[in-house]
Amino acid sequence: MRTPKPLPLHLVGRPFTLAQALQAGVTRGRTRASDLSTPYRDVRLPHPADVSLIERCRAVTSVTPTSVISHITAAQLHEFRLPFRFLNMQDIHLSKNLGQGRPQRNRVYGHEISLVPTDYAVVRGIPVTSVQRTLLDIAPELTVDELVAVADQIVCAHNRSFGPPKLPLVEISELRSYIDQHRGLRGIRKLVAAMELVRVGSDSAPESQLRLCIQRWALPEFMCNYEIKDAAGTPQVAPDLSCPRYRTCAEYDGGHHFSPEQQSKDHDRNFLTTSLGWHQSVINKHDMGKGGLVAITKIARMLVLGGWDDPANLARRSLLGQLHVRKDIR
């Protein structure tokens, strides 16, 4: 078998368009060689190659004038907190404005949607729908809880007395107003229901899940990143979720908490929280199984220590066999 002629260096290991190939002096015959695949019309991909989503999006938009990356693909480029089922999607969602026709290409989900100038954005040089428009477009594909996690990420902001400030991708008032302007679209009722549960300050999807779990089990209200102060009024720590009335807080420890450096910081955080007279419950992935039963029981027991009357007797439920300690603990 004849070995194909080497490609120009700037085309190696990445998608490129036929126009780019011809401009670089590559013949049409060379673009049909066996070492190249055609993921999209007028696009060639060196095979095999590990090509990023960014590069694939760059290639397909370059050969589809006036198109914009949208829906789940736009959510991936915006790095939304998407459920695992969307993380390895290979096909690309591509949209054009009403009247321009729906894009039709291999491995492309084409859409024709109504877009205004503020619905467009750019991510690393790639045209993409804006953050708020993308949330609107993915609403039909996500559950209410999943939409809460994404919207929490969009509006998340911090202006604490310690640590760097964090600005939201979109202010929560602006996001609510945008959604109100699009009543009647598919999935909008679900998104409106999700926005009722969104809170500013949630730093991760598990945090959002824990907060929703607390709300649904009718525990007292918990606030995101409430600053706990010492006797002099100086803020010392800001737990993930706090109930000031009963001096109780909850921290969600995810995978990044396993490093020695982070564990040292967590131990200091726990010490400070306890020394300030607060009752802390540290929650992990295991606790959130089975609807968060273990998490709710742990938090309820801390609330009781803070003076909560526990009308549903949530703190008295047995944790037999649920904790990673001696099995006779209840």
Question: Read out DSSP for 119-152?
Answer: GEEEETTEEEE-HHHHHHHHGGGS-HHHHHHHHH
Long-range contacts of 178-184 (CB under 8 A, 24+ apart): 178/132, 178/136, 179/132, 179/136, 182/136
List, for residues 255-271, the tens digit of each pLDDT value: 555 566 767 888 889 99
Domain that holds residue 20: 9-51
Q: Cα–Cα distance between 302 and 279 in angstroms, integer?
A: 5
Residues 21 and 69 in one domain: no
Confidence of residue 35 (pLDDT cuts 50, 70, 90): confident
Q: Examine the domain organization and report whether 220 and 187 are in the same domain.
A: no
Q: What stretch of H or E contains 45?
A: strand 43-46
pLDDT value for 258: 59
**Does the residue 2 lie in any domain?**
no
**Would you place residue 180 in the very low, low, confident or very high pLDDT band (cuts 50, 70, 90)?**
very high
Q: Which residue(s) pair with 283 in the sheet?
A: 252
Same domain, 72 and 179: yes
Last residue in a domain, options 195, 224, 251 = 195
In terms of domains, do 43 and 154 share one? no
Average pLDDT over residues 266-280: 93
Average pLDDT over residues 203-229: 94
pTM for this entry: 0.84
Determine phi and psi for 260, rounding to 5 degrees: -55, -40
Helix axes 144-155, 172-180, angle to 10 degrees: 130
Q: Is residue 1 part of a domain?
A: no
First to last CA, the chain: 72
Give the angle 33-37-39 at the CA atoms, nearest 5°. 150
For residues 118-144, average pLDDT: 97
Q: Sorting pLDDT into bands at 50, 70 and 90, what band is 325?
A: low
pLDDT tier at 320, thresholds 50, 70, 90: low
Q: How many domains does the chain have?
A: 3
